[in-house]
Amino acid sequence: MSRLALLALALVASCTGPRVETGEPIGTREPAAARPTYRPAPVTADRAELGFGSLFSRDDGDSVLASVSSVRVRKHHVFDRLLEIDPQRARELTELLVLDARVKVVAEKLDVQVPDSDLRLAVKREWARVERVFRQRSGGASTIDAWIERNYAMSRDAFLARVELLAWRRLLRSFTVRYQMRRRGGVAVQLFTAASAKAGLQYRGRIVEGADFATLARKHSVDRSAAVGGRLPLLPNGFDHPGVTLADEVAVGSLSQVRAIGERWGFVRVMDRRVPDTRPFAEAADEIRRELQRRPVESAELAVFIE
């Protein structure tokens, strides 16, 4: 997949991943191993049990969606028409499915589960949002069940099942991406790139003399990470990226030397090094939740996860 496609994927996926919060009072949490994972019992025929298979619909071939006389409208016709009308959106949806495919493979392998409390809170918040929209738009002219039927063509139970499914997918993405990154370990750096070795040495010297790395990076670095002060996501050990190479054998808090990066020149400050955390997900889940509360999964982190 191209870098451009990865960037588009990252931007799409970052908009779909909510901040992971639990809302549980401090001191009331169960031990991680005892917390149940979400497996809702069916309420109606519309409600499907959640599981790794829920990331993708059943492979039933190119099924018929509608018929007009002898003409059959099939699933591929919908995508073909979307490509004609909005090719950018079609690409974004395709790349989001690529992300979910990767999440499915990793989550199944590492037994990543969405804790019940996280999912219930996410559904509760989304339902509260739906109720607010209903009150604003209905003007008291109908019940919320009738409003859902009219706007979404589904029953209240089916709508809630859909809300659960979408929330579960978003939470699974966040937990899986962050857990996989923790298992791999890696290095966190700030990156500065310049058009020439002379410029790189000049800016490195200013930082050594006390200038703020992030401020200089925002103003003068030619890398796209300049917008965030040169800060990169945790780069996994062994990952093919200039930041990993530049940080080799550099102590935490120190600057690397200026080295060639393709046609440019760059250096890094090593912010942190993390050893691989190979604990089972159940043991690490609470820490990951708190970490996601402080720092949700970022677009650049998703791009690293996909590669």
Q: Which of 176, 197, 183 is nearest to 105 (CA)?
A: 176
Say what the pLDDT of residue 251 is. 95
**Which pLDDT band holds residue 136 (cuts at 50, 70, 90)?**
confident
- What 3-state class would DSSP assign to 143? coil
Q: Report helix, strand or coil for 43.
A: coil
Strand ranges for 77-197 from DSSP E: 186-194
Rounded Cα–Cα distance for residues 98 and 103 (Å): 9
pLDDT in tens, 235-247: 998 888 899 999 9
% of the chain residues with pLDDT over 90: 56
Over 80: is that where the pLDDT of 287 sits? yes
- 140/214: higher pLDDT: 214
Please tell me the predicted confidence (pLDDT) of residue 56.
Answer: 67
What span, in angstroms and rounded, lies between the C-alpha atoms of 234 and 298? 11
SS (H, E, C) 16-29: HCCCCCCCCCCCCC
What is the arithmetic mean of pLDDT over 27-47? 36
Q: pLDDT grade, residue 141 (50/70/90)?
A: low
- Across the strands, what pairs with 255? 269
Domains and CATH numbers, the chain: 3-54+75-182 (no CATH), 186-274 (3.10.50.40)
Q: How much is the average pLDDT of 23-37?
A: 33
pLDDT above 90: residue 306: no
Mean pLDDT confidence for 27-52: 41
Per-residue pLDDT at 40 exceeds 80: no
Distance between CA atoms of residues 172 and 166, nearest Å: 10
CA distance 237 to 186: 5
Dihedral sign for Cα 205, 206, 210, 215, please. Answer: negative
d(CA 70, CA 79): 21
The SS3 of residue 175 is: helix
Residue 34 predicted with pLDDT over 50? no
Residue 141 token pair: 């002219």
Contact 173, 100 (CB under 8 A): yes
Question: Would the pLDDT of 177 be above 90?
Answer: yes
Q: How far apart are CA 103 and CA 112, in angstroms?
A: 10
The answer to whether residue 269 scores a pLDDT higher than 90 is yes
**Encoded amino acid at 144, one letter:** I
> CA 25, CA 27: separation in Å to the nearest integer?
6
Q: How far apart are alpha carbons 163 and 150 in whole angstroms? A: 17
pLDDT at position 30? 33
Record the pTM.
Answer: 0.71
Sign of the C-alpha dihedral computed for residues 187, 192, 193 and 198 taken in this order: negative
Q: What is the pLDDT of residues 210-239, one digit of tens each?
A: 999 999 999 999 998 999 999 998 899 888
Structure tokens at 301: 């982190």
Mean pLDDT (the chain) is: 82
157 has a pLDDT exceeding 50: yes
Q: Is the pLDDT of residue 64 over 70?
A: yes
Q: Is the pLDDT of residue 38 over 80?
A: no
Evaluate if residue 200 carries a pLDDT over 70. yes
Q: What is the pLDDT of residues 80-117, one digit of tens each?
A: 999 999 999 999 999 888 999 999 999 999 999 999 99
